[in-house]
Each structure stands twice: as C-alpha cells, then as structure tokens.
Amino acid sequence: MSQWLRADCSNSPPDSPMPFPPGWMPFAMKICLLSDSHDHIPLLDAAVAAAKALGAEAVLHCGDLVAPSTLRCLEKYGLPVHMIHGNNTGDMFTLGRLAADPGSVVEYHGMDAGIEIGGRRIFLVHYPHYARAMAATGDWDLVCCGHSHLPTQQWLPHLKGGRTLLLNPGTGGGVGHAPATWFLVDLETLECEAHELDKTLERGAQAIKATGTQP
C-alpha cells in the first residue's frame, strides 16, 4: 500500500522550494527512508527491495536498527546505506567495523548526521524533538527522524523565513501493533510516497527458516 503525501502546518509544500546554492545543479534522485527496524530482517529486506524497484538510489536509516548483522541482508542491493543509531544502540563497535569493511555499503555516522545527497542538505537524527530543533535552523532542506513509530511529515517554519520538511517514516519493523512503514522520497521535488509492508512476510520467513519449506 502506498500513497503520495504532502504535509506541513497546512498540508502543502512551500510556494517556493529552498533555492540551491549558486552553481549547484540538482538532479532527480529518490531515496528509501527507514527507521526503527528493530532486527526485523524480512521487513527491512522487503522495504529496500521495493524501494530499489521504484528507483531509490540510497537508503537512509534513522536509528534503532539494533543488531548490525541485520544490515547484511541489504548488501545484495548495492545501495549506499547511511546509518545512525537510536536509543536501542545495539553493538556500535561491530556496526563501526561493518561500515569499515572494504566494499561495505554502510556508512555509520554515529548519533546524528548532516549529509548532502542529490543536491539536498539532509540531517538525520533519531529523536523527533531534536529533529524539530534542527528543522527550525533553516540550514537543512530535509530533516529525518524516528523513535515514535508514527509515520509523519510536516513543513515547519524556520528562523530564516522559509520552511523545512520534517519526515518520520515510522517503524520499518512494524514494532508492536504499529504498521511496518517506510518512505520513498523524491529529492528533486521533496514529494514523499508512504509505503506499508505486509507484516505476514516476517511470519512466512520465520516458518521457512524453521521448517525449510514454504508455509
């Protein structure tokens, strides 16, 4: 299930998107935005597979991955994975070593990250209150967070007189009763497509692992 979402204080994008710096030429690029996968490997795998099929060229994960070995399932897609940790940190030492492996697709940034992808300035952090504060600076085109397990997006006013897009893709692991969600973000237009995964994918994968046969 998916739908195109535009949101803000008034559910509409700014009339004039933030201009690019002089000489900076943007290009069309889509990213897969995830958070709070909490070791749910089949769902994480399915999200990135779907995102790549839809044209995503990078994965951004806003924390609470937990076990670093979870990321092994993404190697086959060949997409760069930008990763921060959340409050469920897991083994950060092993995560750092995984990122340092030759040929690794993972870039581990620590507790937060300011990166540039597709001509956009993007800030990643786990906590929504921290994300709102960073959006308010006006230094970023896009601020991404997680933690709440609630997929949301807002255009927030900032100190420089414009607005910044704040995205929370929810929980990719479908933790508890929450849906398993992820976002496909078009960095050229800053449109966001919200996707929900079928959580029975995980039960099927567990059954196959236990019995060696398709349930």
H runs (alpha helix) in 36-100: 41-53, 92-100
pLDDT at 89: 85
Which of 147, 172, 175 is CA-nearest to residue 34? Answer: 172
pLDDT in tens, 148-193: 999 999 999 999 999 999 999 999 999 999 999 999 999 999 999 9
Q: What are the backbone angles phi and psi of residue 155, rounded to the nearest 5°?
A: -100, 115
Is the per-residue pLDDT at 195 higher than 60? yes
Tens digits of per-residue pLDDT, 62-111? 999 999 999 999 999 999 999 999 999 888 889 889 889 988 999 999 99
User: CA 154 to CA 131: how far, in whole Å?
Assistant: 11
Confidence of residue 204 (pLDDT cuts 50, 70, 90): low
User: pLDDT grade, residue 53 (50/70/90)?
Assistant: very high
Contact 49, 42 (CB under 8 A): no
Q: What is the mean pLDDT of the chain?
A: 86
Residues 106, 71: contact at Cβ < 8 Å?
yes
Lowest mean pLDDT among 28-32, 74-78, 153-157, 204-208: 204-208
* pLDDT class of 6 with cuts at 50, 70, 90: very low
Predicted pLDDT at 206: 55
Candidates 116, 61, 117, 118; CA nearest to 90 is: 61
Please tell me the distance from the alpha carbon of residue 147 to that of residue 193, in angstroms, as a whole number: 20
DSSP 13: -
Residue range 2-6+29-211 in CATH 3.60.21.10: yes
Contact residues for 103 (Cβ-Cβ < 8 A; gap 6+)? none
pLDDT on residue 103: 87
- pLDDT tens-place string over residues 101-151: 988 999 999 999 999 999 999 999 999 999 999 999 999 999 999 999 999
List, in sequence order, the alpha helices (H) in 140-192.
none
* DSSP class of 76: G
- Band (pLDDT 50/70/90 cuts) for residue 27 is low
In angstroms, the first-to-last Cα distance of the chain is 23
